[in-house]
Amino acid sequence: MTTEHYESVIHPPAIMAELKKNKVTHVVWLPDSETNFMYQLLTTEPTIDLVPVCREGETMAIAAGLWVGGKKPVVLIQNTGIFESGDSIRGLGLDINQPLVMLIGYRGWTRHGLTSDSAARFIEHILHAWGINYYLIESDDDANRISLAIDEAYRIQKPVAVLVGTEFGA
Amino acid sequence: MIPSIEAVKAVNYHRSDALVVATSSALRDWHQVSQRRDLDVDLSDCMDRAPAVALGLALAQPSRKVLVLDCDATLRTDLAGLATVGESKPGNLVHFVFDDASRLSTDGVSIPGLDNLDLITIAQGSGYSKTYQFDSLEDLLIGLEEVMVQTGPVFVLVKVEREAKAPPMPERRMAQGWAEVRRTLASQS
Instruction: Report how far residue B134's alpha carbon sits from residue B114's, in angstroms, rounded to the nearest whole number.
Output: 18
Instruction: Kindly report the CATH number assigned to the domain that includes residue B182.
Output: 3.40.50.970
Yes or no: say if B161 and B136 are a contact pair by the CB < 8 Å rule.
no
A65: nearest CB among B60, B80, B175: B60
Tell whether the model's pLDDT for residue A60 goes beyond 60.
yes
Q: What is the pLDDT of residue A130?
A: 96
Question: Looking at the predicted structure, is the pLDDT value of residue A2 above 60?
Answer: no
What is the CB-side half-sphere exposure of residue A59 using CA atoms within 13 A?
32
> What pLDDT does A5 receive?
53
Give the ipTM: 0.96
In 3D, which of B43, B44, B32, B38 has the Cα closest to residue B7? B32
pTM, whole model, 2 decimals? 0.95
CB pairs under 8 A between A and B: 105
HSE value, Cβ hemisphere, 13 Å, CA-based, for B56: 32
pLDDT at residue B170, as a whole number: 95
For an interface test with A, give the residue of B23, B55, B68, B74 to mutate (most A CBs within 10 A): B55
User: Which residues is A75 bridged to in the sheet?
Assistant: A28, A102
CB A79 within 8 A of CB A35: no
pLDDT at A55 over 90: yes
Query: For A159-168, what is the mean pLDDT?
Result: 92
In chain A, which residue's Cα lies nearest the Cα of B57? Answer: A65
- Strand runs labelled E in A22-70: 26-29, 49-52
Range of the structural domain that residue A92 is part of: 9-73+84-115+123-168
Domain holding B124, by residue range, is 2-188
A92, B186: Cβ pair inside 8 Å? no
Q: What is the CATH number of the domain that holds A56?
A: 3.40.50.970
The model's pLDDT over B123-144, given as tens digits with 9 standing for 90+, comes to 999 999 999 999 999 999 999 9
The DSSP secondary structure of B87-98, one letter per residue, reads HH--TTEEEEEE
> Does A158 map to a domain?
yes
| Cβ–Cβ under 8 Å, residues A23 and A49 | no
Flag whether pLDDT at A46 surpasses 80. yes
Q: How many domains does chain A have?
A: 1
Give A6's pLDDT tier (boundaries 50, 70, 90). Answer: low
Mean pLDDT confidence for A145-150: 98
> Is B51:B85 a contact under the CB 8 Å cutoff?
yes
Mean pLDDT calculated for residue range A19-45: 91
User: Is the C-alpha dihedral spanning B187, A48, A38, A32 positive or negative?
Assistant: negative
Average pLDDT, chain B: 94
Catalogue the long-range contacts made by A121-128 (C-beta closer than 8 Å, 24 or more residues apart).
Answer: A122/A83, A123/A79, A123/A82, A123/A163, A124/A163, A126/A82, A126/A83, A126/A86, A127/A82, A127/A161
Q: Examine residue A19 and state whether it is found in any structural domain, yes or no.
A: yes
Question: Which residues of chain B have a pLDDT value below 50?
Answer: none
How many structural domains compose chain B? 1
User: Which residue from A53, A70, A87 is facing B60, i.e. has the nearest CB?
Assistant: A70
Cα B165 to chain centroid distance, Å, stands at 21
| pLDDT beyond 80 at A7 | no
- A152 falls in which pLDDT band (50, 70, 90)? very high
Determine the pLDDT at residue B110. Answer: 75
Binary contact (B46, A87; C-beta < 8 A) = yes
